Amino acid sequence: MAAPVIELQHITKVYQMGEVEVRALRGVSLAIDEGEIIAVMGPSGSGKSTMMNIIGCLDQSTSGAYLIEGKDVSRLGDDQLAQIRNRKIGFVFQTFNLLARTSALENVMLPLIYAGVGIAERKKRAQEALSSVGLAERVTHSPNELSGGQQQRVAIARALVNNPAIILADEPTGNLDSKSGVEVMAILQWLNKNKGITVVLVTHDPVIAQHAQRIVHIHDGRITHNEQVDEPKIARPGGELT
């Protein structure tokens, strides 16, 4: 059995809002195996975004331990967390977060600039990442010249370019029609199967969640149950489900 790549141990997160304490997470424990696809579901305010921010090293817990590949990262400093984000984790967001006036290639190259990669290598790796999501012919196009589904594929390519062990996808199909949403899930499933990338996605859509191997339900800052998906839906690049 694969070792957990992500392990949350009794994680709590408390925010101070003036004189009021808001308990966003209340003792969350979760292990995610290497090469697993899981979906996280829960209503607004359930704590799922807080949990994803902690998994993505964008925020730190109030108490508890967070391990990535067996290393406790829950008390690292900002610079060390930034290094982990850059080397280990790729992010995909509902709103794409692309720079409007730059090409697909330049958008994908951006994380490599922060990583100190030379320009020739940046360009090569960005072109390979765009090819892997079916956009080899769109490298010079800016976001406003691309459909929503294509923009999300650029965002996935950007997440891939540093060869992450983990992709965190926050409502990756939320702004897409159903066909484009299925195409995005096809790419995430392909990356999981062929590159061994662990995928954690937040979704409100139960149909999208059925593409995962496991669904984690969260409510009022607690994981209420883990649901194993016996036969995950397989998404096809043409936008069909099987």
Per-residue pLDDT of 126-175, as tens digits, reads: 999 999 999 999 999 999 999 999 999 999 999 999 999 999 999 999 88
Band of pLDDT at residue 242, cut at 50, 70 and 90: very low
Helices (H), 24-100: 48-55, 78-88
- pLDDT surpasses 60 at 241: no
* Interval 164-210: pLDDT, tens: 999 999 999 988 888 888 889 999 999 999 999 999 999 988 989 99
* Interval 14-72: pLDDT, tens: 998 889 999 999 999 999 999 999 999 999 889 999 999 999 999 999 999 999 999 99
- Residue spans of the domains in the chain: they are 34-53+77-228
**Exposed / middle / buried, residue 92 (Cβ in 10 Å: 0-12, 13-18, 19+):** buried
Average pLDDT, rounded, for the chain: 91
- Name the superfamily (CATH) of residues 34-53+77-228: P-loop containing nucleotide triphosphate hydrolases (3.40.50.300)
Q: Which pLDDT value is given to residue 217?
A: 96
Entry pTM: 0.90
Backbone dihedral angles phi then psi of residue 123, each to the nearest 5 degrees: -65, -45
- Start-to-end CA distance of the chain, whole Å, equals 27
* Interval 216-237: pLDDT, tens: 999 999 999 999 999 998 887 6
- pLDDT surpasses 90 at 238: no
CA neighbor of 92 nearest in space, from 176, 194, 6, 35: 176
Q: Which pLDDT value is given to residue 239?
A: 55
